[in-house]
């Protein structure tokens, strides 16, 4: 029971059941290496995929960078920028 809740509050039971559910889920996922890897991939996809939609595929400077790369590839010295 949390210190800020009254003794007769039903919130502690719901929190413990949620914690029990999470603990059972983690025990299930960690039973085999394959399940643990699948859970890790799932959590990573849930965390990173929403951000990929907000990044534009082509940057404003993409054309400028490609134009600067063309002479470097033609002339040979990649360090000497002209």
Structural tokens at position 68: 């600067």
Q: What is the pLDDT of residue 7?
A: 56
Structural tokens at position 61: 């400077």
Averaged in consecutive runs of 10 residues, what is the pLDDT profile of the chain (82 residues)?
A: 52 78 89 92 90 74 78 73 60
**Based on C-alpha coordinates, what's the Rg of the chain?**
26
Q: What is the pLDDT of residue 24?
A: 92
Q: Measured between alpha carbons, how far is residue 37 from residues 13, 16, 21, 27, 43 in Å?
A: 31, 27, 20, 13, 10
Hey, where are the domains in the chain? 11-75
CB 36 within 8 A of CB 29: yes
DSSP letter, residue 77:
-
Q: What is the pLDDT of residue 1?
A: 44
């Amino acid at each position: 029971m949390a210190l800020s809740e009254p003794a007769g509050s039903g919130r502690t039971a719901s929190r413990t059941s949620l914690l029990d559910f999470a603990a059972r889920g983690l025990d299930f996922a960690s039973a085999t290496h394959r399940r643990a890897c699948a859970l890790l991939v799932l959590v990573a996809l849930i965390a990173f995929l929403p951000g990929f939609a907000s990044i534009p595929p082509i940057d404003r400077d993409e054309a400028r960078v490609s134009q600067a790369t063309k002479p470097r590839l033609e002339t040979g010295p990649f360090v000497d920028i002209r």
